[in-house]
Amino acid sequence: MIEVRFYDTVEDSLLRFAVIIAKSDNRWVLCKHRDRDTLEIPGGHREPGEAILDTAKRELYEETGALRYTLEPICVYSVLDSETPDIQESFGLLCCADITSFEKELHSEIERIVLSDHLPTAWTYPLIQPKLIEEATRRGSL
């Protein structure tokens, strides 16, 4: 069973990911990875020595082509798989972004972005990403 937890803050060194709930013109900005048939929120792994907000900015650009945007941290989230007890809790920074300008082409593993008035039913991470959106909404960030 996957459990998603939320924190106001944790030790910076624990943050391994940044995920960005993005909108543009009040529409959801979702990514379609070229190897999958599902949609996901932009985000990814932190590089060694990288500040976590720089991770969020880099991943937002790489996965959506966002050129101009506002970016705000919301909270820290963690994922814990209770069926794999030897794997520890994994932490990430959850952010929101409002994108006003995109690059014409993507230069990553993302095949395309989707701007939608509605959230998808076919998520890449269905046990995690809808919970991130729920928490961001609960905190008044969306």
Looking at residue 85, what is its pLDDT? 66
Q: What is the mean pLDDT of residues 75-93?
A: 85
Average pLDDT on 79-89 reads: 77
| pTM of the predicted protein model | 0.94
How many degrees, rounded to 5, is the angle at CA 27 between CA 128 and CA 38?
40
Share of the chain above pLDDT 90, in %: 87
Domain layout of the chain by residue ranges? 2-138
Predicted confidence band at 7 (pLDDT cuts at 50, 70, 90)?
A: very high
Which residues lie below 8 Å from residue 134, measured CB to CB, with a gap of 6+?
none
CA angle 7, 31, 110 (to 5 degrees): 115
CATH no. of 2-138: 3.90.79.10
More confident residue, 84 or 108: 108
Look over the chain and give the mean of its residue pLDDT values, rounded to a whole number. Answer: 94
Task: Provide the pLDDT for residue 123.
Answer: 96
Task: Give the pLDDT score at 106.
Answer: 87
Lowest-confidence pick of 13-22, 79-88, 124-133: 79-88
